[in-house]
Amino acid sequence: MRRQTITTIYVATYISKKEHGVTVGGYSNLRAVKLNAQTDYSDLDMQEYGQTVNEMIKLRSNQLPDIAKGDYIYFTKPE
């Protein structure tokens, strides 16, 4: 069985640099992307345990999202 919903996903890019020989970094370029988040679960989980366990999350969209290699994905807005 599949559940799906349009949700806001937050994406940030991690940037680091060396200061006085120590690597320091932080997240920048925080942006929000609307994607279809699908979670798959097994009906057997519901029968056996009375609850479902999400086994996989698929993010889908009709257009290429603004996500690049190395970006971090959040389902809640990071502080």
Q: Is residue 79 part of a domain?
A: no
Query: How much is the pLDDT for 16?
Result: 83
Q: Is residue 59 part of a domain?
A: yes
Question: For residue 54, is pLDDT > 70?
Answer: no
Instruction: Give the separation between CA 68 and CA 49, rounded to whole angstroms.
Output: 38
Buried b (16+ CB within 10 A) or exposed e, 47-60: eeeeebeeeeeeee
Domain count, the chain: 1
pTM for the model = 0.64
Q: Is residue 51 part of a domain?
A: yes
Q: Determine what percent of the chain is predicted with pLDDT higher than 90.
A: 11
| Domain extent at residue 34 | 2-74
